[in-house]
Amino acid sequence: MRARLIVVLLAGVFWGTCAHASTVVRELHYGEVLFLYYQQQHFDAMVHLEAGRATGTIRLHEAEAELLLGGMLLSWRQWREAAAIFSRLLDAHDDPSVRDRARFQLARIAWQRGDAGQAAKSLAALGTHLPAARAAEAELLRARVAIATHDYPTASRVLAEFDGPDDWRAYARYNLGVALLDNGSADEGLAQLDTVGRLRSADGELAALADRANVTLGFAQLRDGRPAPALVALERVRLDGPFANAALLGAGWAHSEQSRHRDALTPWLTLRGRDLLDPAVQESLLAVPYAFASLGAHAQAAEHYATALEVLDDEIARLEHTIERVRAGSLVPALLAAEADADGLRPPAAVDSGHWRLDALPDRIETRYLHRLLAGHAFQEGLRNYRDLRFLATNLSRRADDLAAFDDMIDARMLAWQAREPRARRMLDGSDAAALSGRHRALAARVERIAEARDTHALASTDEHALLAALAESEARLVRVTPVLTDDARDELATRQRVLAGVLDWRLHADFEQRLWDARRDLRDTGDVLSEIDARLERIDALRAGAPERFDALGARVAAYTPRVAALAAAVELASVRQRDQLDAMAVTALEREVARMRAHELQARFALARIHDRAASVTTPDTAEGARR
């Protein structure tokens, strides 16, 4: 078994680049963007964010919005666009926390694009203003970059000082151990693998990593001719783990290398009852009869070789049938059938959300043979690209429907306007706003004349005007009846007349300033209302006059977008077909490789069986030899 360097996603899940739970939202539109982002609706969040920036409704969160947009573009694997955003932030901002986050994201982009040198430069420029979790992630990335550039002392030092989650450190140590083995530093590499292999954890992922480290360690020691320590490492692997088959196969070879062929049969016979698609199980089909042959049990060896040939023949036939089904295009629809809902494919979210769960595979014959391919990074990325393309196709189809609906809406509004426009014109023509404004000006002028002349009686209320009229009438009547009144009666009535007139006149003089202020206030408020009415009438008149042009402009915009959406839909459909063909080709290649491996096992079994038959034919009994001489 050849040791390989596994690929581990940094931080497990996609890092929300700048949107923290403690963010103080100061703009409603940015709050909507964050809501969509935390709902894992990154596509809609990007659309809202770009719309907010275009309309100027996101201004107070400029740096945060840029970092968030760059992170969401990374979730769609738009490396160049994301890198451009982070580079722009690095040049435009003096905030050390923003600059460090931009540098870290640039390092991640460079690493994911295979540019370890540029990643190292960005990491070297990092300051000390990353959050604790991000700082730990940066250190792990620093270790991985050091491994990739063969700077193993730096990688070992960083891992020794690493202050982060234990599973991150374990993955990095495993990668370092395998890299050291591939580089020829066997002792150091084996030591790193042994450290990981001795981990004991209740976490399933970490336990699986320990199993893999032990399998890698065991086979490396087998290659070096050290079966005894190899057996110790392989026996640490759990029997119900994902690497149990490889460990059982290696344990059998470790026993066999020490000439304990009977002991080797125990793990190899255990493998024979497991899934034949596992290469370790396939190899056990030949290992079991090899052990029997080594023990001198040639009849049992021949029987097991014959059984292996039958099993391999049947499995090859199934594989070839599966290849035909994949070439017919049934694989990708089967994989995505569980993802479709009533509204189409769900939009992609975080980086790791597109990775397929092997326990959720549909029960189809072709998927049974493709577990390892589906678990591989290349196929996962290709499948995710196809899912993204199908989502975009669904989205563009909806936008095309929306454009058609917009066109119908514009026509409907034009017809409605044409029906309402004559009535609106008659209402505007019959408006007395100008007359009201004239009356308002006249009243304002009159109030100013009253103020200048200090005409207190002019601001009297209706009741007071009635009293003034009544006093004037009583004074006239007093004059008329004076000849028939005595002097005392006339004087008493005249005194009452003067007192009543004086009281009323005093009240009007005392309240004059307040009444004048109230009159001016009422005129000012009325003037504001009349000014608003005039402005609205002007806007209504302008809108009425420009309505046809606006409807034509909206129709032109819809007409301009329609061919663009159609062209994008055609490009997405072409890319989808190519991506699906690429996935099918990867699957066919993997299946053909499986067929080739089984045919190779089949050929080995036939040669071994032929040798057993030749050996049996060459063995003659004494009676047979004596008869031949006679």
Q: Nearest to residue 329, comparing CAs of 569, 574, 582?
A: 582
Of 172-176, 432-436, 448-452, 557-561, least confident by mean pLDDT is 432-436
pLDDT at 10 exceeding the cut of 50: no
Q: Which range has the worst mean pLDDT, 80-84, 179-183, 512-516, 621-625?
A: 621-625
For the chain, helix (H) and strand (E) counts, in that order, are 25, 2
When pLDDT is averaged across residues 507-536 and rounded to a whole number, the result is: 85
Q: Tell me the chain's radius of gyration from C-alpha atoms.
A: 45
pLDDT tens digits for 185-196?
788 888 888 988
Mean pLDDT of 153-172: 78
- 388 pLDDT higher than 50: yes
Tell me if 397 sits within 8 A of 565, measured CB to CB.
Answer: no
pLDDT tens string 230-264: 999 999 999 888 889 999 999 999 998 999 989 98
Handedness of CA 323, 326, 327, 328 (dihedral sign): positive
Q: How much is the pTM?
A: 0.63
Angle, vertex CA 435, rays to CA 417 and CA 461, nearest 5: 130
End-to-end CA distance of the chain: 56
Give all domains of the chain, ordered by start, each with its CATH number. Answer: 12-137 (1.25.40.10), 433-563 (no CATH)
Cα–Cα dist 125/48, whole Å:
33
On the 0-12 / 13-18 / 19+ scale of CB atoms within 10 A, 184 is exposed
Give percent of the chain above pLDDT 70. 87
Nearest to 175 by CA among 414, 8, 386: 8
> How confident is the model at residue 575, as a pLDDT?
92
Is residue 178 classed exposed, middle or buried when 0-12, 13-18 and 19+ CB atoms within 10 A define those classes? buried
Lowest mean pLDDT among 1-5, 569-573, 621-625: 1-5
Greater pLDDT, 592 or 342: 592
Q: How far apart are CA 271 and CA 267, in angstroms?
A: 6
Q: Mean pLDDT over residues 400-426, rounded?
A: 81
User: What pairs with residue 341 in β-bridges?
Assistant: 344
Band (pLDDT 50/70/90 cuts) for residue 626 is very low
Q: Calculate mean pLDDT across residues 93-107.
A: 82
pLDDT band at 361 (very low <50, low <70, confident <90, very high): low
CA distance 76 to 186: 39
Supply the pLDDT for residue 364. Answer: 60
Least confident of 26-40, 73-87, 397-411, 445-459: 73-87
CA–CA distances in Å: residue 549 to residues 299, 420, 424, 541, 556: 96, 17, 18, 14, 10
- Stretch among 127-136, 319-328, 349-358, 617-626 having the lowest mean pLDDT: 349-358
The full 3-state SS of 91-145, as one line of letters, equals HHCCCHHHHHHHHHHHHHHHHHCCCHHHHHHHHHCCCCCCCHHHHHHHHHHHHHH
Q: What is the mean pLDDT of the chain?
A: 79
Q: Note the pLDDT of residue 236.
A: 92
**Angstrom distance (rounded) from CA 590 to CA 576:** 21
Residue 392 has pLDDT above 80, yes or no: yes
Find out whether 220 and 186 touch, Cβ atoms under 8 Å: yes
The answer to which of 162-171, 386-395, 433-442, 511-520 has the lowest mean pLDDT is 162-171
Q: Count other Cβ atoms within 10 Å, centred on residue 319.
A: 19
Q: What mean pLDDT do residues 388-397 have?
A: 87
Question: What per-residue confidence (pLDDT) applies to 581?
Answer: 92
Q: Average pLDDT for residues 40-56, to the nearest whole number?
A: 82
Q: What is the DSSP letter of 5?
A: P
pLDDT digits (tens, 9 = 90+) for 471-499: 888 878 877 777 777 777 877 878 888 88
Residue 112 has pLDDT above 80, yes or no: no
pLDDT band at residue 18 using 50, 70 and 90 as cut-offs: very low
* Range of weakest confidence among 52-61, 316-325, 369-378: 369-378
- The single residue listed with the structure tokens 């336990």 is 207
pLDDT in the model for residue 387: 85
Please determine, for residue 9, whether its predicted confidence score (pLDDT) is greater than 60. Answer: no
More confident residue, 337 or 435: 435
CA 316 and chain centroid, separation: 41
